Every structure is written in C-alpha cells, then in structure tokens.
C-alpha cells in the first residue's frame, strides 16, 4: 500500500511542476503582449535599410494592386495619410 502512495505523490509533483511552468510561460506572453500593445508604432527597418524597405513596400503594394485594382486608390490615400502623419 505504501508503494501506491509514492506513485501518487510523484505523479502529483510532476503535474504541479508542469502547471507552474505553464503559468510562468503564460505570464511572460501576457507581459510581452501588453508591452507591444503600448507601443504606438513598431519600426521594422533601420535607417540603413531604408532603400530595401521601400522596395519591400512597393512589392507589397504591387501585389495588392494586382489582386484587386479597385483598392489602389484606397491604398494610395492611406499611404499618403501615413506619410503626412509621420512628418508631423
């Protein structure tokens, strides 16, 4: 009868440790998500890679235009608005 209790204690300790690890991981994810939510704008490029980022944006816009050309006006208006807000 004593051997059964040892097995139960060992299995319980395993589940307690696993639960603690999961709670810690969840706390880290919540902290990172809240920190990212506070950031107004996330910069993806450095000033050195500005030319590459412009090419990337142009390529992405060309794909969007080819999918649905009706959205071209809306995309260009949004880009213009973003550039104006960025200059302020």
**Structural domain spans, the chain:** 1-41, 43-88
Determine the pLDDT at residue 76: 75
Determine the pLDDT at residue 60: 73
**Which pTM was predicted?**
0.42
Determine the pLDDT at residue 84: 73
Determine the pLDDT at residue 83: 76
Would you say 16 and 8 are in contact if contact means Cβ atoms under 8 Å apart?
no
Question: Which residues of the chain carry a pLDDT beneath 50?
Answer: none
> CA–CA separation, 40 vs 16, rounded Å?
39
Give the residue among 82, 43, 41 at the shortest CA–CA distance from 61.
82
Determine the pLDDT at residue 75: 72
């Amino acid at each position: 009868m004593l051997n059964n209790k040892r097995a139960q204690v060992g299995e319980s300790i395993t589940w307690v440790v696993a639960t603690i690890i999961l709670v810690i991981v969840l706390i880290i994810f919540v902290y990172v998500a809240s920190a990212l939510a506070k950031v107004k704008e996330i910069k993806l490029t450095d000033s050195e890679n500005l030319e590459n980022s412009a090419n990337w944006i142009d390529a992405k816009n060309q794909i969007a235009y080819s999918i649905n050309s009706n959205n071209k006006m809306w995309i260009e208006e949004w880009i213009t608005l973003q550039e104006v807000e960025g200059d302020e």
